[in-house]
Chains A and B, each alone.
Chain A
Amino acid sequence: MSTAVDTTKPAREAPYQGPLLDVRDLHVEFKTRDGLVKAVNGVNYSVSAGETLAVLGESGSGKSVTAQAIMGILDMPPARIPQGEIRYRGQDMLTMDKEARRQIRGQKIAMIFQDALSSLNPVLTVGFQLGEMFRAHKGSSRKEAKAKAIELMDRVRIPAAKDRVGDYPHQFSGGMRQRIMIAMALALEPDLIIADEPTTALDVTVQAQVMDLLAELQAEFHMGLILITHDLGVVADVADKIAVMYAGRIVETAPVHELYARPAHPYTRGLLDSIPRLDQKGQELYAIKGLPPNLLRIPPGCAFNPRCPRAQEICRQEVPKLFQVTTPEGAEVAGRQSACFFWKETLGDA
């Protein structure tokens, strides 16, 4: 009678219940010749399985840098993370060793970039780049990897995948290239996908197709999705909750419909007001006055104060924390926060 040694993994403790990704008080700085650029100044957000978080903001708001910090692809000098935690399934990735982090990258958390033409290697075939995921992480053979690549291309609805697997990125249209990027991200069925402006470089109709595909795949794999964008239109269909970023901070969070209906921060209000509407015909378009701040010299107090129609003395002196939004009766509204001293008044502007 042999006592078979159980070489399988030890029985897990109770499976992890919290959010897939939990970013806490993240700060990212860049040391440049002109000074210290504070790109991310205390960001908190989390995503759970099956959930879509949209991170909204203009260029320079820090949304992409946060994403890159999560993936761990920032060049560490000149970038520095002086403070914060990035927890994947409860474990802080910032304290992990390089190899452990690398194992997560691509396999558990994957990223889709904006410009697929420059983000794909121009001298390797699409099939090779897709198959690479399997060869590098799963030890598949070339044949297996190729078969998987074709399967993936089918999944993202690239016509005649078998014929096109040996083609190069520049031979595809923009929309198809973006699908290939999506396929590459999904290859190993990650828990979480971060999409950094996936549709910005595409035509409107193609945008819709790609977003539909993304939503479909997310539902199918029950993945968490962080969608980074500056386009309010794209977000409305896909997101569950939204975080608005400005000057490296989150200035408002809300479930998606709440945000559009009743913004609680002047910046969000300004963004929504700037969307041209048909019934505005003949009127001057609204734009938030001023320009986003120079991250070398962020204004004191609330970073938005120079451009804010509501700015008061206190805004120039104190940095507002993220206040919990409550109903008039005082009940907390779930997932609703605003970094504005005057959020109540802003809500009332609807």
Chain B
Amino acid sequence: MPSKDLPDDHDPLRRIPPTDSDHLDYVGQQGLAVAQDTLIEPDPVKREEARSLWGDAWRELRRRPIFVISAVLIVLLVLIAIFPGLFTDTDPRQADLSRNYLRKPDWADVFGAGWFGYDGQGRSIYSRVIYGARASIIVGVFVTLAVTLLGGVTGMVAGYFGGWVDAVISRVIDIFFGIPLLLGALVLLNAFTTRTVWSVVIALAVLGWTQLARVMRGSVLTVKQADYVVAGKALGAGTSRLMLRHILPNAIAPVIVVATIALGGYITAEATLSFLGIGLQDPTISWGVDISSAQRVIRTAPFALFFPAAALSVTVLAFIMMGDAVRDALDPKLR
């Protein structure tokens, strides 16, 4: 008899005490449930908030300073990326060699063109720092989205179905792993004569998805063996239901953690590629490119390297801090 998906209100897994949390089956939550501190039982008089992994995680996150700081930074950076005009009036490409060649920063000119000084082509460093955010954020965000989607799906399929499907997918993952990210991106990007942000996104995504596929696969393998999944199967839950409702919510936590941290890595990768001259090029404004050109004048004008480098570091830092905070919040063992 073919198993069929059971409609929600008849799903036996839902009959266990209802909780406040929205879309997760109670039993499904138990998979990664908060380690029940047996000394603290729910207050019988006052109905407390249901303890679920995501509810708890959010509560945990809110109270950590590291999360708040990184969240604020990220919001600021995204704003800068989308609306650079809000932060500076100066045209980042406007070059005035005669007047502004390596002109030193004018600290009094807050948010002005000369605040961070001028680079070797007479362009406002402050303005270029502001406009450079866009490239980094776009690359970071879109590569992460792409690899999470691609890697997540592949990893889930490999982990869930096992057998030869898993064998084939795992070998493919291994193959991509054998090629270092930077190297592969170097070779790929070398083929493009004009390189835009999207070229870089594609190159990094094509080479980087395997990392997340592995994490997802490992996570699914663990979750797959949990009792509630076996129970679901025994009760006739279909493949897609099992995958989406029971396995995915519990397997995804490590993937999210790795993805958030990897985001920082992709931003660094783009900057490194641009630095090597093989990433973004004019007219795209990139911190990596600016750092590269600033190499030559590092002794006379260290500020030309410092500001884009600082901006880059702070951006990566923000995402990695966020990743740290998310991981700590999602890990019940670290309480």
Contact = CB atoms under 8 A, between A and B. Distances in A.
Do A's and B's CB atoms come within 8 Å in the complex?
A: yes
A293 B45 CA distance: 10
Contacts of B8: none
Interface in A240-293: 290-293
A59 B38 contact: yes
A294 B38 contact: no
Nearest to A30: B39
A55 to B, nearest CB: 16
Contacts of B43: 294, 297
B42 interface: yes
B7 interface: no
Interface residues of B, number: 8
Nearest to B43: A294
A249 to B, nearest CB: 14
Contacts of B175: none
Contacts of B76: none
Contacts, number: 32
Query: Chain A interface secondary structure, helix, strand, loop or mixed?
Result: loop
Interface string A27-51: 0001010100101000000000000
B42 A291 contact: yes
Nearest to B48: A294
A295 B40 contact: yes
Contacts of A65: 39
A306 B39 contact: no
A60 interface: yes
B41, B42, B43: most-surrounded residue (chain A CB, <10 A):
B41
Contacts of A290: 44
Nearest to A248: B39
A7 to B, nearest CB: 50
A316 B86 CA distance: 65
Contact of A306 (B38, B40, B44): B44
A296 interface: yes
A39 B44 CA distance: 18
Interface residues of A, number: 17
A291 B41 contact: yes
Interface in B4-62: 38-45
A295 B39 CA distance: 6
A60, A294, A296, A306: most-surrounded residue (chain B CB, <10 A):
A294
Contacts of A291: 41-42, 44
B39 A293 contact: no
A30 B335 CA distance: 14
Contacts of B40: 32, 34, 37, 60, 294-296
Nearest to A65: B39
Interface string B198-211: 00000000000000
A39, A65, A292: most-surrounded residue (chain B CB, <10 A):
A292
Contacts of B45: 306
Contact of B41 (A32, A293, A306): A293
A190 B81 CA distance: 69
Contacts of A32: 40
Nearest to B335: A33
A294 B41 CA distance: 5
Contacts of B41: 59-60, 291-295
A65 B37 CA distance: 13
Interface string A10-41: 00000000000000000000101010010100
A272 to B, nearest CB: 22
Nearest to B45: A306
Nearest to A306: B44
B44 to A, nearest CB: 5
A296 B44 CA distance: 13
B62 to A, nearest CB: 13
A65 B42 CA distance: 19
24 contacts: A30-B39, A32-B40, A37-B39, A37-B40, A39-B39, A59-B38, A59-B41, A60-B38, A60-B40, A60-B41, A290-B44, A291-B41, A291-B42, A291-B44, A292-B41, A293-B41, A294-B40, A294-B41, A294-B42, A294-B43, A295-B39, A295-B41, A296-B40, A306-B45
Given A34-B40, A292-B41, 8 more contacts: A60-B40, A290-B44, A291-B42, A293-B41, A294-B43, A295-B41, A306-B44, A306-B45
Interface of B: 38-45
Instruction: Rank and list the top 8 A-B pairs by shortest CB-CB distance, nearest first.
Output: A59-B38, A291-B44, A294-B43, A295-B39, A292-B41, A37-B39, A290-B44, A60-B38
